Chains A and B, each alone.
Chain A
């Protein structure tokens, strides 16, 4: 047993090494010094308090989305629609904040209401995907893609329509919220302990939910074999809906954090790809919640540190995204190879 575990670990390490090798080849082809490139990424992520705080503020929403998709993955669902769920969460938060910003409600309460609204928005959008899946027979991948599209269109409409800046119609975003509606941050840096705390709390929650509760076990049973789960008495569609809702709540929270702690306004790109990134993190960690936090942190660091590449090496800024993608691909490929290898024996 132990030997097998070490062997599996070896395979994972092998995958990471392969991914690094492949990225190195890509870098060489782009005419960049690979070692230096990696060093710059590390430096860009860790070299100053500001950088570290930027990494941490990217970590918080990524933790939330990763946690969310861990739940839907457990139920065997590909919640591609999470991008839209973040978006609608952000829209709801923005709506609540706009509604209350000129009222006499204390700003702490406004923020709280904004977060609740964000959760409701994310859950609503996830519920739509769930209803399409359970009652409409629409695969959640296609439903999700469609709903993402609708969410973006809705955000755009609001940004250049009813919520536009006075006298301005730009898709760049709505008017910035006043400082009092910013999630409080540590002095001197831009990251909020509240956001991060929320992210960590949710990851812990999901870990225990999937590992130690009847709810989690039933989700897993549905994910692995929904027919058998039904025969064993698990109300499957209700649980599928619930998985969607929970993921939507976390996605909505991520959207609320993007609005109150990062952008302080609504932009068409408010989801920042954290939904897709969360899906990739979940695949990379083979759906094991225990690894969610460190790997999400690593991805956040790649996102922030990667900015150094265009600044210093004039490389396209999407390179760190390529590295992330290659990592996931290689881990999946190696996992596939491992399964074939072991079956042959």
Chain B
């Protein structure tokens, strides 16, 4: 089926998620959709598959304008989407999942369905036990189940959102084979990814999105350099850094191992010096967030040691880390950092060491006033935090930090902020560095990483580079590493399984 998107626009609040995207995809091709996090890939795909309604624009299938109001509409028209987190029902059996969502009557003919299932699975070389429970399957097997289900439901346009995350190499090979088979059968495959290798190896054509716009298309053979440039934009010269790294090591990580259900970060060794800024780069979900939280005691480590200021805090809780001068500022400010409904004054009282049983409100208000002034928060002590703008919330979060810290962990410290706030916040952070605080921060903004870090760690699918000197790095090189290019061939690829 030929797919055509015409001038698709979608805004969320002030953000242009899709700013007028037009794209033609002929039947029988595997189309790559490439872009960094927040580039608008997922929004575009969700519009095509009926999860989101566009503000404007048209979708044409085989030349006919269609209106897709829901995922059910989409599947009726032959468009199916395979999500990054499979939308299945883990407590059910494979075959039950398979039947779910079918348009059939109340009592589906189990026998016929089972035959269909086995036939399809055979076609694609998937070995799935129809009686197994879904929660016993691996991510790769759940994907296979979803693919079969969508085909069975009659999908002829299939969207895959980051399908190679969290599956083994063997499963990846199987998946790619299946995708090629689908394309041969004349189906249209949309492959959404940030992994350059995967896109280059699989897709016959690729469209690159950046900040909500289609910035370019390319066909095989690709130039990696060009793709990176399109993904991350032109390199802007990086301003001068003012390193204030001291000799004293404040954080020492040895053979640190962290994992969640889809990622394993292995054997990280790192010394963080007082006053040093280390940027953690990588596509979202490559392991840097997990790593950052592990260093703050918020995620359990599975191996290795964390020494803060010489003390072994491995396996201790965040409370203990906090006592030893570690602070964490989450990216989701209102979800994790601040308490909506409470005022600034109440926040400052909460963050202070409680003295006595009763609250001294006058003192609290004074403290709030002082900090508000010092950190230039646009608000008054009686304001609730959710009434502040994003930049002011971030300033408030900084203002809540204790005076002397050994280590400050930041998740996307300037995401969504205006330039003025960005500069202000980094000034404040640098002030802390001068007092000896070390900073580890995650950011998807490559310029920010290069501008403010002394050293950079790049994460890709759980693999970590050794510390790279930021002054010798370029956005291009960084972009390649983030996209999985230029890594030394590692022998433990199989560990991802």
Query: Which stretch from B83-91, B121-129, B227-235, B353-361 is at the chain A interface?
Result: B353-361
CB of B213 closer than 8 Å to a CB of A: no
CB of B467 closer than 8 Å to a CB of A: no
Asked if A233 and B359 sit within 8 Å, CB to CB, the answer is no
Asked if A214 and B349 sit within 8 Å, CB to CB, the answer is yes
CB of A225 closer than 8 Å to a CB of B: yes
Which B residues touch A218, using CB under 8 A?
350, 354
Which A residues touch B346, using CB under 8 A?
217, 220-221
Given A233-B319, A234-B350: A228 and B338 interface contact (C-beta under 8 Å): yes
Which B residues touch A228, using CB under 8 A?
335-339
Given A225-B335, A227-B335, A231-B328: A212 and B359 interface contact (C-beta under 8 Å): yes
A158 to B350, CA, bound (A): 46
- A203-218 to B contact mask, C-beta < 8 Å, 1/0: 0000000001111011
Given A214-B349, A227-B335: A232 and B357 interface contact (C-beta under 8 Å): no
CB of A112 closer than 8 Å to a CB of B: no
Asked if B351 and A233 sit within 8 Å, CB to CB, the answer is yes
CB of B322 closer than 8 Å to a CB of A: yes
Query: In A235-270, which residues have CB < 8 Å from any B CB?
Result: 235
Asked if A224 and B341 sit within 8 Å, CB to CB, the answer is yes
Given A224-B342, A225-B340: A215 and B350 interface contact (C-beta under 8 Å): no
CB of A141 closer than 8 Å to a CB of B: no
CB of A201 closer than 8 Å to a CB of B: no
Rounded to whole Å, the gap between the CB of B292 and the closest CB of chain A is: 13
Residue from the list A221, A227, A235 in contact with B350, Cβ < 8 A: A221
CB of B318 closer than 8 Å to a CB of A: yes
CB of A230 closer than 8 Å to a CB of B: yes
Query: In B274-321, which residues have CB < 8 Å from any A CB?
Result: 318-319
- B377-388 to A contact mask, C-beta < 8 Å, 1/0: 000000000000
Residue among A221, A230, A232, A235 with the most chain B CB within 10 A?
A232
Which B residues touch A227, using CB under 8 A?
330, 335-336
A227 to B335, CA, bound (A): 8
- Size of B's binding interface in residues, CB under 8 A: 25
A220 to B400, CA, bound (A): 18
Asked if A233 and B340 sit within 8 Å, CB to CB, the answer is no
A102 to B304, CA, bound (A): 64
Asked if B357 and A213 sit within 8 Å, CB to CB, the answer is yes
Rounded to whole Å, the gap between the CB of A27 and the closest CB of chain B is: 39
Asked if A215 and B339 sit within 8 Å, CB to CB, the answer is no
Asked if B350 and A232 sit within 8 Å, CB to CB, the answer is yes
Residue from the list A212, A214, A221, A233 in contact with B339, Cβ < 8 A: A221
Residue among B338, B350, B354, B361 with the most chain A CB within 10 A?
B350
Given A212-B358, A229-B350: A221 and B318 interface contact (C-beta under 8 Å): no
Closest to B327 in A: A231
Return the 6 tightest CB-CB contacts between A and B, nearest first: A214-B354, A225-B339, A227-B336, A224-B341, A224-B339, A221-B339
Interface residues of B (CB under 8 A from A): 318-319, 322, 328, 330, 335-342, 346-347, 349-351, 354, 356-359, 361, 400
Chain A to chain B contacts (Cβ below 8 Å), 11 pairs? A217-B346, A220-B339, A220-B342, A227-B336, A228-B335, A229-B350, A231-B318, A232-B339, A232-B351, A233-B322, A234-B350
Besides the contacts A217-B346, A218-B354, A224-B342, what 15 more A-B pairs have beta carbons closer than 8 Å?
Answer: A213-B358, A213-B359, A214-B349, A214-B354, A214-B356, A215-B357, A220-B341, A221-B350, A225-B338, A228-B336, A232-B339, A232-B347, A232-B350, A232-B351, A233-B322
